[in-house]
Chains A and B, each alone.
Chain A
């Protein structure tokens, strides 16, 4: 299994690990979010906004 980058929210750490299936932190067992996905040899990680449904991104311009 290829090591991938993931952010363990419980450890509050970025880790380059083999996260297993289903993915879990090898140290605390927490779920990584986000977790890198490997596509054609390229690792992709998406950092998305955690906003409640219906809320708007505050724009200060």
Chain B
């Protein structure tokens, strides 16, 4: 066996360049798989994280009849007495914070231009607004008693050529089904690096929002953040029993979860393509090696080497290629993934309102993916070596000695 191994190693050494490029094909394949897996993870985690942080929270408490898609403002569709509910929710240990929010649709009009927006009535003092507060590019954040000020996102400011201090006309739906129009002053421009959110969302203090929409002390929902999102179901269970509906982040973000499941199957398909190409390169190299060594196979057979020994010699060769390729691929792949984990990959303005995606994806590679992809690449290479090895072992010695002719 040792001599067979020696022949296998030296034969790889005989065609160093070819062996190197075959192993490199595997290495690039594996590195690519690791990169794809890490981007996919990063994107899905960031989509979920952004959507929770900016939009859905971990839990929302809504009136039983509230429908998010209609941004309903009728009193019967809204949460009554929100302060009391907030206090009740915040008394739970698992809860980090709770804050009332009012959500209405409207239209911004400036000069000849107009754009549809969503108005977020927020409690400016709540920590829940930190993601918006840290994203302030210009101007000041809102104060609770500001009756004139709004914040707009950077994409909207750019689109309508607006600056801090400019005045805009805002038409807002009211609980009675009418539209009220008022002039507001832009107090600040923010960016959460999430186009789908920033281009649509206009912030104003919740008290002002309640006034203009004529919803008085009602709110659309209570926005709840937990210390740990895995506690969502337990907290939701604890909050049941009122007239309100309790929605957890998994229920609110089904779109993301479904997209993830669907993308998963595409990703597996892509893995198959990459591994298929890699396997073809390996098979090609080994078949070339078999044909070049036809006479050698004949000699080994003539001195009494059995078919299965000849086969194991070629299988050893593909194992060596696989080991080399996988090691190279891991080093190469982890280096590239580490770079993109730290620096991210700019994808620009993507995403929808239901699935917020930041404009930069940061790669996130799990240990599980690393192990699975490495093992699969290794096994595929071994399988690829099977056919050439069988080809070699089935050669008739007489023909092999003639050089296969």
Whether A and B are associated in the same complex: the answer reads no
Report B's interface with A, CB cutoff 8 A: none
Report A's interface with B, CB cutoff 8 A: none
